[in-house]
Structure 1
Amino acid sequence: MRVSDIVFDLLLLGIFIPSIAGFIMGRPVFVSYAYSDSMTPTINRWDVFFINPLSKGEVGDIIVFNLSGKWTVHRVYAITTEGYITKGDNNIATDQQDNKNPPVKRDQIIGKVITIGGRPIKIPKIGKYLQSKNSHYLAVGLALVGGAILGVGGEKERKRRKRRRKVIDTSVIYVLMATLLAIGIVFTASMSWREIGITYASTLAGGQKEGWYLPGTTFSENITVKNYAKIPMVFIVEGKVVNREAFKLSGEEERNIKVTIHVPEETRIYTESVKVYSYYPILPTSVIDRLHDENAYLPLLIEGLLVFAGLIMLKPFLGEPEYIPLRRF
């Protein structure tokens, strides 16, 4: 086996594992699909497209971001000091027109759609099957296919081992795979964090339009926190306009959170935000809540370590370690 083969397999796992985990989490990582016609004809409904998570995009690029709790794929129309102004190619107005939504902040963007010659790389209509009720079977199928591809390659190498010197312990590769899986879990959970913005106006014409309130008054409304994942998740909601809550939601379950806002005396447009953190239910909700109090990333770090430790403990049950030959590039 060449060094390049090992690097390629690990790279493949580094993309494959987070993508499957992201699918189960309901959070795009490297691959996603459009569920509306807002980007037609550039990206049609149900078209699968690919994401570069290392780029936040520039004016003219197509980005994937969280807009009021929903994953959205739209083009960057402009960039201001307050954030990104976005627009669907098939929409007349921007997402922010008439203060319908606040500008998109950089931390709401998960990546840029990969294009060649200005055209997105896409697979038509596949997304229709990904959003069906039985879509989790497709995820499992993709995992099995990926595993089979890696397995076939490994079997071919095993047949040639006798004539080559043994230099690499498979335990090392197993540890690297366990590390990638743990990192993938932490990555998909942390990148699912989001902010829900509430935009309103303090104005003497309060009550004449939706979202207009008299200075000095108080109003309440509900925001919806939804678990887009296929599995249960623990959520922590906090912000100065909500009471901090920690709770568990089943797959695709949602919960209404009451928001109370005291309208400032100064007349202008305001935006308040509610932060939503999500964690795997590996630890009890109360423990996650206490750890989150110390640092938002601390529960993720401990859960990642627990996953890694669990995989390492399984290693002895997989048989004795083997050795595979190593050839240079």
Structure 2
Amino acid sequence: MKSTKIFKLVVTIIIYVIAAFMAVSAVGTIVAKQPFLMTAIRSNSMYPQLERGDLVILNEFSSKDSLSTKDIIVFRVEEGNYIINDWMMHRITDGNARDGFITKGDANERTDQEDMGIPPIKPEWIAGKALVLRGKPLKIPLLGHLALYAEQSKNSQLLLPIIAVILAVIIAVGELKNTKKGKHAKTEKTESLDMQLIYFFSGLTIAVMVGASMLATSQHLNLSYGVSETEEAALMGSNVGVLKIGDEVDRPLAEFNNNGFFPLLVSITTDDEQISFSRDKLILKPGQYVETQMTVKALNPGDYNSSIRVGMFFPLLPLDWIHVLAQRSYWLALIVISLIPGLPLMLYPVLDKKMRKSTAKVIRQRIRRIKGELSRS
């Protein structure tokens, strides 16, 4: 019986660790705009080593790291007419960092360069390589299907409500199970932290999904320009260029289109006092399309590389409050709003008197048990 409880505890911990790892990976992928920690396999081109739906653990890679043949890398082609939006995971068969790498899927007869006509893969196009143990990539079978589904449904506003309903059903079933057990053994509920953990991680999951959705629709723009005391000039890579002190130019900033069924709140912020916006905050109603502009007024000479945050938020706080938070920090606004729907579930084990006492009792029992085992050893 004791070994069974230990086994269940270990399995539970593993599940929670994997869930947390996936959540961190999802948020990191959105922030970095490339696979982070792990990636989902989209096809069977690497069969039998990897199959569609596998979740592959990644080793961090930079352009300075060395690669060799047989390494499995995740990359995206970013050159001219050969731009491919999807990340691919194939094996290096030849090449080097200077001339580029030749890649091929294990199940394919020809290399990617022969089959798709893409150039050799440059190091800067590579996001990571598969973590390998005894010659085989580390992977979690099937779980990648969740990532693929979320990727396909990221623009669907039904995704979050569906997840919330699933979590609510899980909690309701757990509570019903504990209620039935309580009729026969009042101490049964105090012997496990399962329900407390379910509440906490359910709330955390909702918060992460809400934050990831808002982060995916928000934009981080960089504007490079210069201000001169004498003359105007063009600046490569800038639609503003070099302005003369006193000049003022208007440029398009962003277009917003709400295809959902509830309003979205938009907050546009920057630390550059020379940049202003036609609308720095707005409520985007369902079906509404809005264009915004920015104005750059040359006041102080110098070279500037300004950051502009275009934040898209769910209407969980008043727009003015969100804008104030975003002016302090976009990440502060994102975290606060993300926590709102998940916080009640995360705090419920603490707010509920019976569950709070139950949790405290179990923790004390665990501490005493650990102390006893340490003293015996």
After TM superposition, the score normalised by the length of structure 1 is 0.50
Rg: which structure is higher? 2
Which one has more relative contact order, counting CA pairs under 8 Å at least 6 apart? 1
